[in-house]
Chains A and B, each alone.
Chain A
Amino acid sequence: IAGITQAPTSQILAAGRRMTLRCTQDMRHNAMYWYRQDLGLGLRLIHYSNTAGTTGKGEVPDGYSVSRANTDDFPLTLASAVPSQTSVYFCASSEQGGTEAFFGQGTRLTVV
C-alpha cells in the first residue's frame, strides 16, 4: 500500500541522547515535511525539503536536523534530546510545494 512509513511508532528517550526518526515515502513525491503536534498548538513545521538534496527550516527548527539524500527518505535527528521535545512527530509529503500533504501515522516521543 502506497504511503508514508514512520519508525518507530513510539519511543521513550533519556535527555541528552541522540535520536533519529525515520520517514520513508513510496509515492515519489518531491516535497517532504516534518511537523510536531502539541496539545493546543496544532501542527508546527520543523523542517522541509523541496526535492532531494535540499532542505529548509520551518517554524520550530531549533534542536533538530534533517537530510534528504534521496527522494524517498527524510530522517529527522535530535542531536541531544530535551524534555521540551516530547511530542508527536508527523512526517508528510506532497507532489510539490503548495499541494495537499499526505501524512504518516506519527511517532510519539517522550523525553525524560
Chain B
Amino acid sequence: AQSVTQLGSHVSVSEGALVLLRCNYSSSVPPYLFWYVQYPNQGLQLLLKYTTGATLVKGINGFEAEFKKSETSFHLTKPSAHMSDAAEYFCAVTLYSGGGADGLTFGKGTHLIIQP
C-alpha cells in the first residue's frame, strides 16, 4: 500500500519569494507521483507528474518538482510566487500495475497563501 504525507497544512510566502511545498511518500515499489492544484470551487488540475526518467520534472505555471528516491520525497517548488498561485495543492501517488486501477492516493493538501 502507498501513502502520502504533506508537511504543513498551510504555507504562507510573500509575493516574489520561493515557494516550497513538501511531499513525502511511502511505497513498496517505484511509484508514479503527481502534484495537483485546486482553485476555490473548482476541480483538481494536474501541475506535473513523475513516472520514469528525469527526476526533475517541470510543470505548468513555472512549478517544478524533484523525485528523490533516497529521501522518498517529491517536493514542489517555484522560484517566485505570484498572487495567482494562491490555492490548495495536493501531492498524490499511484502504483502502475499495467492496467489495474486502484486510483491515486492523495495527501491531505497544503493551502498556499501569498502575502502581497
Instruction: Say yes or no: A97-B102 contact (C-beta < 8 A), given A41-B108, A103-B44.
Output: yes
Q: Is the CB of A48 within 8 A of B34?
A: no
Tier of interface size on chain B: 20 to 34
Smallest Cβ-Cβ distance to B36: which chain A residue: A103
Classify chain A: how many residues form its interface, as a range: 20 to 34
> Which residue of chain A is the closest to B45 with respect to CB atoms?
A103
Contact of A105 among B42, B96, B97 (CB under 8 A): B42
Can you sample 8 A-B contacts with CB below 8 Å?
A4-B43, A31-B101, A33-B101, A42-B107, A43-B106, A45-B102, A92-B44, A100-B46
**Minimum CB–CB distance for A106 against chain B, Å:** 6
Indicate which residue in A4, A48, A104, A106 contacts B103 across the interface (CB closer than 8 Å). A48
